[in-house]
Amino acid sequence: MRVEFHFDFGSPNAYLCHRVIPEIESRTGTKFEYVPVLLGGVFKLTGNISPAVAQKGIRNKPEYEALEMRRFVSRHGIEDFRMNPHFPVDTLAIMRGAIVARTTGCFEQYIDGIYRFMWSDPRKMDDLEIIRGSLSECSLDADAILEGLKDPKIKAELVRSTEASVARGNFGSPSFFVEDELFFGKDRLDAVEREIVSRTRYPLSPPSDI
Amino acid sequence: MRVEFHFDFGSPNAYLCHRVIPEIESRTGTKFEYVPVLLGGVFKLTGNISPAVAQKGIRNKPEYEALEMRRFVSRHGIEDFRMNPHFPVDTLAIMRGAIVARTTGCFEQYIDGIYRFMWSDPRKMDDLEIIRGSLSECSLDADAILEGLKDPKIKAELVRSTEASVARGNFGSPSFFVEDELFFGKDRLDAVEREIVSRTRYPLSPPSDI
């Protein structure tokens, strides 16, 4: 069974999911595949806008979204989440970097490192020199990754991945696919887990006598 | 413990919650108090807009919301939900009617009846003659309720209830309050139930030795 997490480092709600995914992997025995998509590209392709923009000026709604973040953080015992003071961060470079890291075999280490400097020990991660220093601190080959960002194949792959995600129904972040079933939002993680469990029990379809 | 469902008959997601609330009441032993609020008034007071308007023209998002409705309906075994072909229905009269019904002691019967003719056997429920016929079919005193709609005290009470809801944090539908904790959206019903259960176990605060 293929379970995908279509992520952009710039989405705080995607980060919160990233922190809970290991628990779901452990409970279900199913590994999530991380798929880099550029959220700005998703918004351009769909005409969607970020929650921060959509909620601006609406009474009570931003406060409620902040409350739901606190509830999620508290429920899952996440103690080191910090809103990035540079939000919204332009994630083009670090998302291209994710493609480079995936190609060069340091994908998981890169994801954990960049997420840390976005939402736990937050930095201005659209500044190439800050990215360079952050990668080095994570014992990643910063020069090689930054050099890779310029590769037209890397740029094209992020575009392709983003377009493919939207073609399958994505319109924002965080998004999950269990096979071809889309689930949107950190509050649907319970539903993602139920879907995995139900498909694990009946990988094709339920036996006819049930 | 006070658990409130702030509802407007015009919201299909509120209707779907109405169908699931009895299960939660039964599991938790806690009755939900239905509080009529005019969703159009909530939108005016907060600057919010309906999901139908917000999603219009956004690729994939309306399809996803429809998918989440089908999932909810399927998960909870709701077999007779029908989108109202007259949507969006102006609910001013039937929401004022809810205040009349509450005042005259036929609140539950009125809610079940109006919901039925909004989302199960859907009619154009902003037409006073259709409302009259529908109330009569439910063995309600249609003439008395329709007469009550004109009462300035009834009109004022719906305004007061709507303003009070917004003052407590509401910005849309469906909304729930467990004491003063707001939960928004049909997908938060699980969270509402968890909150009720946790407060039932520890009505004030957890014992200090736990």
Question: Residue A201's pLDDT is what?
Answer: 78
Q: At what angle do helices A189-201 and A12-28 cross, to 10 degrees?
A: 30
Q: Which residue of B has its CA nearest to A42?
A: B59
Answer whether residue B210 shows pLDDT above 60.
no
Q: How many residue contacts between A and B have a Cβ separation below 8 Å?
A: 61
Name which of A30-34, A48-52, B30-34, B98-102 the model is least confident about. Answer: A48-52
pLDDT (tens digit, 9 = 90+) per residue, A70-121? 999 999 999 999 999 999 999 999 999 999 999 999 999 999 999 999 999 9
pTM here is 0.93
Is residue A180 a part of any domain in this protein? Answer: yes
**Which residues from A are below 8 Å from B45, CB to CB?**
59
Is residue A207 a part of any domain in this protein? Answer: no
A60 and B170: CB-CB below 8 Å?
Answer: yes
Question: Residue B177's pLDDT is what?
Answer: 98
Mean pLDDT of chain B: 95
Q: Does B108 touch chain A (CB under 8 A)?
A: no
Answer whether residue B206 shows pLDDT above 80.
no
Is residue B31 a part of any domain in this protein? Answer: yes
Question: Residue A132's pLDDT is what?
Answer: 98
Domain count, chain A: 1
Answer whether residue A187 shows pLDDT above 70.
yes
Domain containing B136 — which CATH number?
A: 3.40.30.10
B45 and A54: CB-CB below 8 Å?
Answer: no
Who contacts A1 (Cβ-Cβ below 8 Å, separation ≥6)?
A30, A178, A179, A196, A199, A200, A203
Q: Does A184 touch chain B (CB under 8 A)?
A: yes
What is the residue range of B159's domain?
3-201
Instruction: Please state, for a pLDDT cut of 90, what percent of chain B lies above it.
Output: 94
Instruction: Give the confidence band of B198 by pLDDT, cuts at 50, 70, 90.
Output: very high
Answer whether residue B202 shows pLDDT above 70.
no
Question: Residue B201's pLDDT is what?
Answer: 78
Question: Residue A208's pLDDT is what?
Answer: 56
Nearest to B175 by CA among A75, A60, A57, A53: A60
**Which residues from A are below 8 Å from B58, CB to CB?**
46-48, 171
Is residue A120 a part of any domain in this protein? Answer: yes
**Residue B99 and residue B159 in contact, taking contact as beta carbons nearer than 8 Å:** no
Which residues in chain A (44-63) have CB-CB distances under 8 A to chain B?
A: 45-48, 54, 57-61, 63
Name which of A136-150, B72-86, B195-209 the model is least confident about. Answer: B195-209
Is residue B145 a part of any domain in this protein? Answer: yes
Question: Residue B208's pLDDT is what?
Answer: 56
Whether the complex's predicted ipTM is more than 0.85 is answered with: yes
| Closest-CA distance of chain A to residue B68, Å | 9
Is residue B206 a part of any domain in this protein? Answer: no
Instruction: Give the confidence band of B203 by pLDDT, cuts at 50, 70, 90.
Output: low
Neighbours of A25 (CB within 10 A): 15
| Closest-CA distance of chain A to residue B82, Å | 23
> How many whole angstroms separate alpha carbon A76 and alpha carbon A190?
12
**Which residues from B are below 8 Å from A166, CB to CB?**
59-60
Neighbours of A20 (CB within 10 A): 17
Is residue B208 a part of any domain in this protein? Answer: no
Question: Residue B13's pLDDT is what?
Answer: 97
- The vertex-A127 CA angle with A122 and A131, nearest 5°, equals 65
Instruction: Please state, for a pLDDT cut of 90, what percent of chain A lies above it.
Output: 94
Mutate to test the interface with B, among A43, A44, A59, A180 (most CBs of B within 10 A): A59
**Which residues from B are below 8 Å from A169, CB to CB?**
60, 63-64
Q: Does B197 touch chain A (CB under 8 A)?
A: no
Is residue A210 a part of any domain in this protein? Answer: no
Who contacts B137 (Cβ-Cβ below 8 Å, separation ≥6)?
B113
Answer whether residue B172 shows pLDDT above 70.
yes
Q: Which residue of B has its CA nearest to A51?
A: B54
Mutate to test the interface with B, among A13, A43, A60 (most CBs of B within 10 A): A60
Question: Residue B209's pLDDT is what?
Answer: 56
